[in-house]
Amino acid sequence: MEEEPSAKHHHAETSDKSSNLIDINVLGEKREYTTTLKGVELHGNETLEIVCTSIPEKADEVISKLWMKLGGRFRRIVSVGVHYTNEDEPPQMAAVLQLCIDELCLVYHIAAATKWPKRLTEMLQHEKLFTFAGFSIESDKEKLKLSSMEINPNKFIDIQRKWRVPYTGKEYDSLTDVAASVIHPFYKGMKNKINTQEDYKLWGTSELPDNLIEYAGVDAYAAYKSWFMIDYITDGSEYAKEREAENFYDRPYCPFTG
């Protein structure tokens, strides 16, 4: 773990840069901090880097790295997820926003921050570049809007509505169900390191403990990788159907054609 606590002079140095940023209207213990977890274990030999921060400039730095990962790709998928402030202290609002691409995840601690990162606004509202995938994303969008942030309504996918795990008989699948089905059984145990009753009350506190940061990152990765796999397989199936409709497979085979 790498922890980078802020100091008072840091705020003074960045105040000019932050003056044009959007205020965050979420009650919480405001504090500038960054915690980085590297080598977080996933399935197989896969590992994840998670950067949790309440500092807009640090978040912008990570968002720039996420943005660069998508350069040149045809499918620009970004997972998005939101955790909420304590429901016992209404109104319930967005406390944490998580974004993930490949092995890098940003956990932005909204409840501890005072400003929204500039690049985050550009990313979530971009008209063309990104498709955001998440679980029960309508609720996340609602909570984000209460916190003065919105996702482009034309650029998001709710995995829970777009994919069902076959033969389970469930009315709705959880992210753990989907990720364990399409990625690896490892993701059935995603919540083993947290107490879902007590730890979920801590999203609005500062600083977030490491186990919640790790959970947020793995949760974000599971959503990203799940939709990446589902979308890839669906595209392949649709491509095969197009070939079938064109009678492609009835043509004589020639080993010298590509």
Rounded to whole angstroms, the Cα distance separating 220 from 80 reads 7
The b-or-e profile of 126-140 (16+ CB within 10 A means b, else e) is: eeeebebbbbbbeeb
Could you tell me which residue, 203 or 153, shows the higher pLDDT? 203
Rg (CA), the chain: 20
pLDDT digits (tens, 9 = 90+) for 70-107: 887 777 899 999 999 988 888 889 999 999 999 999 99
Which pLDDT does position 252 carry in this prediction? Answer: 67
Whether residue 217 contacts residue 107, with contact meaning beta carbons closer than 8 Å, is answered with: yes
Average pLDDT taken over every residue of the chain? 86
**Is residue 15 scored above 60 in pLDDT?**
no
* pLDDT band (50, 70, 90) for residue 194: very high
pLDDT digits (tens, 9 = 90+) for 38-48: 999 999 999 99
**Is residue 7 scored above 50 in pLDDT?**
no
* pLDDT band (50, 70, 90) for residue 14: very low
**Is residue 6 scored above 50 in pLDDT?**
no
Which pLDDT does position 13 carry in this prediction? Answer: 40
**Is residue 1 scored above 70 in pLDDT?**
no
**Is residue 169 scored above 70 in pLDDT?**
yes
* pLDDT band (50, 70, 90) for residue 254: low
Q: Which helix (H) or strand (E) holds 214?
A: helix 210-245
Q: How are beta strands 156-158 and 131-134 bridged, if at all?
A: parallel
Q: Which domains does the chain have, with CATH numbers?
A: 34-244 (3.30.420.10)
